[in-house]
Amino acid sequence: IDSFQQSSKKDLTLTPQKKQAGGNKKLKTVGVVASPKGIEGNDRDEPYVPTYIHKNVLYLRRGEAALSPQTQKTFALVEQHFVVPRDFEQSRKYGPLSGTSFEERVIAAYNLGLLQPKYGPESTDGIVEICSVCAVEGHKRDECPKLL
């Protein structure tokens, strides 16, 4: 083994003559251009969905969960009056994925005040208060008569 290491060391050392001879040669360059559109199955419009992670943490995407009618109504009200960001499922800002569904996370984000109200022709002038317990507009969860 020592003889092999010694012979490889001899090959690695360059003399000034070898350096000079190699310095005048031009290296061949090869240009490669990869286009995302050229690769099949690569859609930039659709965000990446980590289905394996969702399966392991028991997260259900939009429309996959069996929700109570009250939760469905609350989600519809929140979605009607507040903006749900496009990166909602990818962002950690809106809470953990484990053991929840898209709709439950949206309602939780609303309760924490993380969603922005919608402005425009279909929105109201003021911020709408929605109760996530009784699914009624006019009061928040903390002021719900069912909980008092």
Residue 35 has pLDDT above 60, yes or no: no
pLDDT in tens, 111-146: 999 999 987 665 555 678 999 899 999 898 889 988
Return all residues near 100 (Cβ < 8 A) that are at least 6 apart: 59, 60, 108
H/E stretch holding 109 reads helix 102-111
The whole-model pTM stands at 0.64
Residue 7 has pLDDT above 80, yes or no: no
